[in-house]
Amino acid sequence: MDAALADRLQFAFTVMFHYLFPVGTMGLAPFVAWYTYRAAKTGDPDLENAARFWLKIFAINFAAGVVTGIPMEFQFGTNWATFSARSGAVIGQPLAMEGIFAFFLESVFLGVLLYGRGVVAPAFHTFSAFCVLIGSWLSAYFIVATDAWMQAPSGYKILADGTIELVSIWPVLFSQFALWQFAHVLCGALVAGGFIVAGIGSYYLMSNREPALSREFIRTGTLVAFAFSALLIFPTGDRNSADVTHYQPIKLAAMEGLFESEIGAPMAIIGMPDVHARKLIDPIYVPDVLSFLAYGSASAPVKGLTAYADALWPPVELTYYAYHVMVGLGTIFLGVTAIATLALFRGRLFATRWLLWPILLLMPFPYVANEAGWIVSEVGRQPWIVYGIMKTAEGTSATVSQGETIFTLIGFLGMYFMLGLLFVYLVLREIASGPSNHATPVAAAAP
């Protein structure tokens, strides 16, 4: 194992573990804002309990996300010093904006939400909930814009010494690649949030707990999960794939396991890529569909992996399997939530246990799909760290050895394992306690 691979493994582990928590905050922030608003408007104690309940789970996600996000910032300087030195003038801008604007907006108003109830005016308390929502989404946008620039660089020039200089911040922040990638990421997080809310509601309903709120959670979570499962496929998934086709056609070939260029290329539903034999083993194809999805014509030519030098191939197997896991789970999410939504409008969902069980059991799988999507995006970009400009192996730190990186990776594994256990314990404790135990204590009447 060389130093570059050790650096990649460490960053892959830390970023994938960290990403579990932003998925939770982005997905749950709308529910916190919605229930806070409805509770202030109606004065309904059940909705007040719901707002407090989801706020606590959101706060646990936020705290874990902050703790796990900080080490990644340091890795840019320790493990990826050459990359940071050459591209820091560009990537430093959106990353600084994320910290200065989005993170402080989210964290300050989260404090108001947690400790300001009964201290600040109800209208300002509700306003704070929406500021937390905006902050969580804005934070994600700046991070995605940074990654999108690494996928499809724009707004830059390269100096004589190889340093990448920022020419204009606007192409970095508002490129088509960034906009559609963020839309897709946000939809994925909202599917996760919808399944969490509906799944916990299903748990309470089947346990004969929280009779009013369990139905409210199932109804709201199911509708959100259904709507954004559809939007994951079209238009966000379609447009994000179109950007990949335009900017990174070799990634498209790896995603589909297409080794040979074809006119009227088929889409592989299943199959096992064999890189040495350069073919898919036991594939099931849908004829012409890949050409149509990629270029809008069933007879369009699509370049396969063999049209490119082997040195430019991403890790084909990992990219292919991650893509199919993401697409397969997304299809399942849409199917289950569509059936559940139909049952909901027919007034049968709450009494249909065979539908409540899949909603409950699917709760962890949007996280799997989100992680698989990021594997496709980042592994499929290899061997480039900035696509077409800088190879990943060129961005490492010359003074950090593989042994040092592996040693710290082992430390991260241990610390994050403990943090993960603590996170699960705290969330499960809140779920076991239930929304009703978050009610505001009523002061005893004076004698």
Q: What is the per-residue pLDDT across 302-337, written as a single tens digit (0 to 9) for each?
A: 999 999 999 999 999 999 999 999 999 999 999 999
Distance CA 189, CA 23 (A): 5
| pLDDT class of 116 with cuts at 50, 70, 90 | confident
Is residue 437 over pLDDT 60? yes
- In DSSP terms, 166 is beta-bridged to 156
Is residue 443 over pLDDT 50? no
Residue 306, domain member (yes or no): no
| pLDDT class of 439 with cuts at 50, 70, 90 | low
Residue 136, domain member (yes or no): yes
Residue 144, domain member (yes or no): yes
**Region 204-222 average pLDDT:** 94
- Which two three-digit tokens encode residue 239? 């447009």
- Residue-averaged pLDDT of the chain: 92
- Which two three-digit tokens encode residue 431? 């779920």
- Which two three-digit tokens encode residue 246? 């335009």
Give CA 431 to chain center in angstroms: 23
Residue 104, domain member (yes or no): yes
Residue 317, domain member (yes or no): no
- What is the pLDDT, as a whole number, of residue 100? 87
Residue 148, domain member (yes or no): yes
Distance CA 41, CA 27 (A): 23
Question: Phi-psi region for residue 421, left (φ > 0), alpha (ψ -120 to 50) or beta?
Answer: alpha
Residue 349, domain member (yes or no): yes
Nearest CA to 266 out of 241, 240, 229, 292 is that of 292
Contact between 343 and 355 under an 8 Å Cβ cutoff? The reply is: yes
Distance CA 205, CA 310 (A): 55
Taking the CA atoms of 394, 395, 399 and 401 in sequence, report the sign of the dihedral they define: negative
Residue 447: burial class (beta carbons within 10 Å; 0-12, 13-18, 19+):
exposed
Q: What would the pLDDT profile of 36-46 be if each residue is shown by its tens digit?
A: 999 999 999 99
- Which two three-digit tokens encode residue 131? 């500021």
Residue with tokens 């014509």: 297
Distance CA 237, CA 177 (A): 12
Q: What would the pLDDT profile of 77-97 be if each residue is shown by its tens digit?
A: 888 999 999 999 999 999 999
Residue 36, domain member (yes or no): yes
Residue 68: burial class (beta carbons within 10 Å; 0-12, 13-18, 19+):
buried
**Region 200-206 average pLDDT:** 96
Distance CA 39, CA 126 (A): 9
Distance CA 402, CA 155 (A): 34
Q: What would the pLDDT profile of 236-290 be if each residue is shown by its tens digit?
A: 999 999 999 999 999 999 999 999 999 999 999 999 999 999 999 998 999 999 9
Question: Phi-psi region for residue 208, left (φ > 0), alpha (ψ -120 to 50) or beta?
Answer: left
Contact between 394 and 84 under an 8 Å Cβ cutoff? The reply is: no
Q: How far is CA 37 from CA 42, 124, 130, 222, 331, in A?
A: 9, 11, 9, 20, 33
Using DSSP, state whether 287 is helix, strand or coil. Answer: coil
- What is the pLDDT, as a whole number, of residue 438? 55
Distance CA 80, CA 178 (A): 23
Distance CA 444, CA 447 (A): 9
| pLDDT class of 436 with cuts at 50, 70, 90 | confident
**Least confident among 73-87, 132-146, 378-392:** 73-87
Q: Which residues, at least 6 apart from 355, have a Cβ–Cβ distance to it below 8 Å? A: 336, 339, 340, 343, 349
In the chain, the number of structural domains is: 1
Using DSSP, state whether 250 is helix, strand or coil. Answer: helix
Cis ω before 364 (30° cut-off from 0)? no
Q: What would the pLDDT profile of 396-407 be if each residue is shown by its tens digit?
A: 998 888 888 899
Q: Which residues span the domain enclosing 386?
A: 3-233+333-438
